[in-house]
Amino acid sequence: MKLVYVDYNATTPLDEQVKKVFIEALELYANGSSMHEDGRLVAKKIETARSQLAHLINCEPSELVFTSGGSESNNTVFQTMNAHNFLSTSKYQRLYGGRKRIITTQIEHPCVLESARELAQRGFTVEFLPVDSKGHIDVERYKALLEESKQTDNPQQKVLLVSIMTANNEIGTIQPIKELCAYAHQAGALFHTDAVQAVGKIPVNVKDWDVDYLTISCHKIYGPKGVGALFVKSGVPLSSLIKGGHQEHGARAGTYNAPSIIAFGEACKIAQEQLDSYYTHTKALRDSLCETLLKHIPNIRINGDLEQGIPNTVDISFPGAEGEAILLHLDLCGIRASTGSACASGSLESSHVLVATGVGPELAHGSIRFSFGKYSTQADVDYICEVLPPIISRLRSFSTLEVS
* End-to-end CA separation in angstroms for the chain: 33
Element (H, E) at 368: strand 367-371
Ramachandran assignment for 340, one of left (phi > 0), alpha (psi -120 to 50 degrees), beta (any other): left
- β-strand pairing of 159-163 with 213-217: unpaired
Contacts of residue 295, defined as CB under 8 A and 6 or more positions apart, other chains included, come to none
Q: Which of 290, 333, 343, 385 is catalytic?
A: 343
- C-beta separation of 356 from 275 below 8 A: no
Query: Can you say whether residue 295 is alpha, beta or left, with left for phi > 0 and alpha for psi between -120 and 50 degrees?
Result: alpha
Q: Which of 264, 222, 227 is nearest to 25 (CA)?
A: 264
B/e letters for 71-91, b = 16+ CB within 10 Å, e = fewer, are bbbbbbbbbbbbbeebbeeee
Q: Rounded CA gap, 51 and 238, in Å?
A: 21
Task: Name the amino acid, one letter, at 296.
Answer: H
Burial of 216 (0-12, 13-18, 19+ CB in 10 A): buried
343 assigned to active site:
yes
Q: Which residues pair with 139 in a beta bridge?
A: none
Contact criterion met (CB below 8 Å) for 309 and 173: yes
d(CA 385, CA 392): 11
Q: Is 149 helix (H, G, I), strand (E, B) or coil?
A: helix
Catalytic residues: 343
